C-alpha cells in the first residue's frame, strides 16, 4: 500500500480498468500525450497506445456523440470533459441522449459511459471552470452521479463507475487533486456506486456533506468536539442516487442534522437530502434541518472565492445553532 494523492488514485483506477477490459477507451481534449491538463491520464497513452487513449478535436458535444456511438459498437468509453463548466456544451449528449438511451431501447442496449470531469472552487481557476453544476445532472433520471472526497474512494469509485453498465458522471474535485494523500491499495478494489459512508461517528448531530465539504465538515466536527458536541459526518459519495438508508440511520441516532453543499443553496443536492429526511424522518428530528450552502449569486470572481465557498466555520456555526435549538 502506498500513500497516494487523490489525482494519482484516479490515475491508478483508470490504469486498472484499461488493463482489465480491452474495450475501455479514454478520450477527450489533451488526455493523450499531455496526460490531461491536470495530468490525470498521464502515462496511460504510453502504456496502452493511441488506439485506447486518444485526443479528440476540441468540441464537447462531439466528445459525447463519440461516446454514445462507440457504445453502440461495443466499446466502453471514458470521455473526459476538461472542466465541468464545459459540460454545458455537452448537455444534450449527457442529459438528452446518453442518460435516456438505455430506456429508449426498452433496455435492449447498454451505454456504459463514464464521463469524468473536474469541478469545485477554491483554486482560482478562470471563469466558468470550477462551478458546482451537479444539480443539473442529479435531476436527470438514468444518469448516476458520484464524487469522491478522498483518494481511497477516488480509485474505488472510478473502477466501479467504469464497470457499471449505466452511464455515470464522475466528478473530480479540483481542490482535492493534490491537497490530500491517503493509503491506497495498489491492487484492484471497488467502492459501491450508490452508498454513502459515515466518515466520523458521533451521537449529537449529523452533518451530511460531499466532496471538499466533507473535509470542512470534519474540521468543524473537531471544533465541536472541544465543546463536547459529538458530530457524525456522512460523505454522500453518490449524489444520484442518494443513499438515504445511511442518512436515516444516523438521524435516528442523533435527531439533529445539518446538510452541507458547496453549490448555491438554490442548486439543491442538499435540498433533496433535506426533503428526503423531512418526508421520512421528521418525527425523529428534535430541531429543524440546518442547511449550509453557497449564496445564490452567480459563481464568484476568482479573487473572492474564499469569501463565498462555505467553510468549516460556517458549518460549525450552523451545527451549534441546530444543536442548541
DSSP structural state of residue 301: P
Distances (CA, A) of 2 to 12, 154, 186, 191: 11, 14, 7, 18
Min dist. Cβ of residue 306 to other proteins (A): 35
Contacts with other proteins by CB under 8 A lie at 25, 51, 56-57, 59, 61-62, 64-75, 77, 92-93, 96-97, 102-108, 110, 141-142, 144, 164-166, 194, 240-241, 243-245
> In whole angstroms, what is the distance from residue 92 CA to residue 26 CA?
20
| Pick from 44, 55, 102, 112: nearest CA to 78 | 112
Q: Which residues, other chains included, contact 106 with Cβ-Cβ below 8 Å and sequence gap of 6+? A: none
Nearer to other proteins, 54 or 308 (CB): 54
Does 129 qualify as catalytic in the annotation?
yes
- Distance between alpha carbon 185 and the CA centroid of its chain, in Å? 21
- Rounded to whole angstroms, the maximal C-alpha distance in the chain is 60
Angle, CA of 292, 5 and 48, to the nearest 5°: 120
> Minimum distance between the CB of residue 90 and other proteins, rounded to whole angstroms?
10
CB under 8 Å to 279, separation ≥6 — which residues? none
Q: Which of 102, 124, 129, 255 is flagged as catalytic?
A: 129
Tell me the DSSP string of 106-127: TTSS----EEEEEE-SSS-PPT
- Tell me how crowded residue 4 is: count the other CB atoms within 10 A of its CB: 22
Alpha helices in the chain (DSSP H): 6-20, 44-48, 60-72, 91, 99-104, 134-138, 151-163, 212-225, 244-254, 269-281, 305-308, 312-323
| CB of 256 vs other proteins, minimal distance in Å | 24
Q: How far is the CB of 72 from other proteins (least distance, A)?
A: 5
**Strand ranges in 101-222 using DSSP code E only, listed in sequence order:** 114-119, 144-146, 168-173, 181-184, 197-200, 205-209
- Closest approach of Cβ 273 to other proteins, in Å? 13
Shortest distance (Å) from residue 314 CB to other proteins: 29
Could you tell me the three cell numbers for 177? 487533486
Q: Which residues are catalytic?
A: 129
Amino acid at each position: 500500500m502506498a500513500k497516494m494523492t487523490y489525482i494519482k488514485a484516479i490515475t491508478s483506477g483508470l490504469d486498472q480498468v484499461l488493463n482489465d477490459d480491452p474495450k475501455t477507451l479514454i478520450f477527450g481534449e489533451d488526455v493523450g500525450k499531455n496526460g490531461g491538463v491536470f495530468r490525470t491520464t498521464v502515462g496511460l497513452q504510453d502504456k496502452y497506445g493511441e488506439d485506447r487513449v486518444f485526443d479528440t478535436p476540441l468540441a464537447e458535444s462531439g466528445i459525447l456523440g463519440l461516446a454514445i456511438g462507440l457504445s453502440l459498437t461495443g466499446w466502453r468509453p471514458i470521455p473526459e470533459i476538461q472542466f465541468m463548466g464545459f459540460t454545458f456544451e455537452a448537455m444534450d449528449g449527457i442529459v438528452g441522449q446518453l442518460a435516456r438511451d438505455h430506456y429508449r431501447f426498452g433496455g435492449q442496449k447498454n451505454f456504459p459511459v463514464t464521463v469524468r470531469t473536474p469541478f469545485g472552487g477554491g483554486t482560482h481557476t478562470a471563469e466558468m471552470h470550477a462551478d458546482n453544476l451537479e444539480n443539473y445532472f442529479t435531476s436527470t433520471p438514468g444518469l448516476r452521479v458520484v464524487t469522491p472526497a478522498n483518494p481511497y474512494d477516488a480509485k474505488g469509485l472510478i473502477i466501479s463507475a467504469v464497470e457499471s453498465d449505466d452511464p455515470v458522471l464522475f466528478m473530480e474535485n479540483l481542490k482535492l487533486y493534490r491537497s490530500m494523500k491517503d493509503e491506497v491499495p495498489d491492487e484492484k478494489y471497488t467502492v459501491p456506486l450508490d452508498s454513502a459512508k459515515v466518515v466520523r461517528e458521533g451521537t449529537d448531530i449529523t452533518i451530511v456533506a460531499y466532496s471538499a465539504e466533507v473535509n470542512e465538515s470534519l474540521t468543524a466536527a473537531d471544533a465541536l468536539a472541544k465543546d463536547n458536541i459529538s458530530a457524525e459526518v456522512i460523505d454522500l459519495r453518490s449524489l444520484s442516487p442518494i443513499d438515504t438508508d445511511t442518512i436515516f440511520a444516523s438521524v435516528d441516532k442523533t435527531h439533529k442534522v445539518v446538510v452541507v453543499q458547496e453549490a448555491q443553496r438554490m442548486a439543491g443536492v442538499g435540498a433533496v437530502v433535506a426533503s428526503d429526511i423531512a418526508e421520512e424522518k421528521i418525527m425523529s428530528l428534535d430541531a429543524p434541518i440546518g442547511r449550509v450552502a453557497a449564496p445564490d449569486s452567480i459563481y464568484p470572481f476568482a479573487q473572492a472565492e474564499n469569501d463565498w465557498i462555505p467553510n468549516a466555520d460556517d458549518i460549525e456555526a450552523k451545527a451549534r445553532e441546530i444543536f442548541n435549538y
